[in-house]
Each structure stands twice: as C-alpha cells, then as structure tokens.
Amino acid sequence: MGYHYSCNGLLLLVSVLMVVASSAVGSFYQDFDLTWGDKRAKIFNGGQLLSLSLDRVSGSGFQSKRDYLFGRIDMQLKLVAGDSAGTVTAYYLSSQGPTHDEIDFEFLGNVSGQPYILHTNIFAQGKGNREQQFYLWFDPTRNFHTYSVIWKPQHITFPLECSKMLNLLEFPSLKNQPMKIYSSLWNADDWATRGGLVKTDWTKAPFTAYYRNFRAIPCNNCGSKRSSSSSVSDAQRQWQPRDELDATSRRRLRWVQKYFMIYNYCTDLKRFPQGFLLSADNTS
C-alpha cells in the first residue's frame, strides 16, 4: 500500500551552521575508511584532516566505519577553490538496497567568481525527487564551515523548508534504517554547472576538498533500537536541547530560503502538475 502526502506536509531544513564544533572530535582514522580513488583520498595531521581530490583519471571518496541511527552529525568542509566548474562534492547519509533512505548535500562547482550551488535531496524507501537548490551566501572555499544533520525519531532538521517539519511518522523507514556517512568528489560536467554547458577545465586539476572536525552525538534518549553507532566519538555526551536549532538559527534559515533559493521541488508544477505526491508508487 502506497504512502501519499502532499508537499505542504514536509519540512526540509538543511542546517548550514557556520560555527566550529565545540566538543571533542574523533580521528578520521578511527571513524572513516577511504573507499576509492587510490591515493587521491588522504588522511593526515594525525587523523584530524582528510582530503579528497579529483583529476582527469579519477575522483575519490570515503565512508564511515559505523552506521548511525538518530543523533546530531557535524562535519566541517572547505570546498574546491578557484574554477570548480563541473565538479561535485557530495556529502550524505545513506542506507543500502533498493529501498534505501538518503539525506544529501551536493555542492555544485562553478567558474571562478560565481557562487557554489547547494543541492539537497531526501530519499525514503528508494524514492527521491525532493530536490532544492540554493546559491551559497558565503564563500565555502576560503574557510571551513560546519554542515549539520539533526536526526530524531520525530523529525529531521536538514535546513531549508517546504513548510512544516519533515515528520518521520510519515516515513517509517527513516526511523528504522541506520545509515552510513559518505562523501565523494567527482566529475559531473554533463549536468553540474549550468546544466552541463560549462565543462571541467582539467588544466586546473587536481581539484581538492578538505574535511575536519567530524562529530557525531548519539540521541541516547530516543528510545529506539541501537545501531552500531553506540561507540561513536563523543558517545558519552547526552543529547542536549541546544542540539536543536534555536530561534535565531531558524530565522537565518528562513532568510536563506527567501533570498538564495533557486529551485524548490514543492513549487515545480512542470514536474508535478498535480502538486508533489510522496508515494511508494511514484516513479516520476
């Protein structure tokens, strides 16, 4: 039996918090595996810094050693600088299989002097089509910025809203499928920049993105089954009310949505002439 919900019943908050994680962080050696790209993926500075690179031969990627089910996950990224057109830096949580769940950040590169585009999506039971896009209102290549997902049994906070909270009661799988953390840097010049009109300039390669200050805080009072994240970094710390977005953060996210959103699946009548329907049978 399919699940049917209108777009107005969803919130997609993508929490781009430009603050340094204040509590202790783990080591990339401890928390992640470099999964592809040969030596283009590197961990250094004693496990406190990770980089991914892309050249004409290959991109690169990594994934978490553990699965996660509920909590707050922070990662600081510094994206590919200069002419990054054609490149995509993807950072996301995902389960496995044809009915997988997924929470996506994709950063679409651009020519020098033009803003990056943040592309977001959520998959539930293998169905996506919940894309939103924003021009980043800051330069993500000059400094590290923290990108956060707050995942509780009641909702996901993952900034930039349709209207109301993304209610996980509407998506049972998002309450039951633990997810790993993934990231990759790859060439997508067939679509990433101006719909593929601007190609990757390989004379600028290698392209490199940097990661630091990963932090995972489990929601110890969520009352759900434990995933293998029970031993994650900083696991001794209990979930605190301050791990939710405060009023100031919510106002800032509304400001971002108003002035920097360039695509919203909720209002795309060309793709969804009857309005967006979330359905187990929806393959559009």
81: nearest Cα among 214, 205, 256: 205
Q: Number of C-alpha atoms within 13 angstroms, CB side, residue 171?
A: 29
The catalytic residues are 102, 106
Radius of gyration of the chain measured on its C-alpha atoms:
18
* Calpha distance 72→229 (Å, rounded): 12
CB 74, CB 215: distance < 8 Å: yes
The per-residue b/e assignment along 181-195, b for 16 or more CB within 10 angstroms, e otherwise, is bbbbbbbbbeebbee
217 to 21, 185, 203, 231, 232: CA distances (angstroms)? 11, 26, 41, 10, 8
Tokens of 8: 């107005």
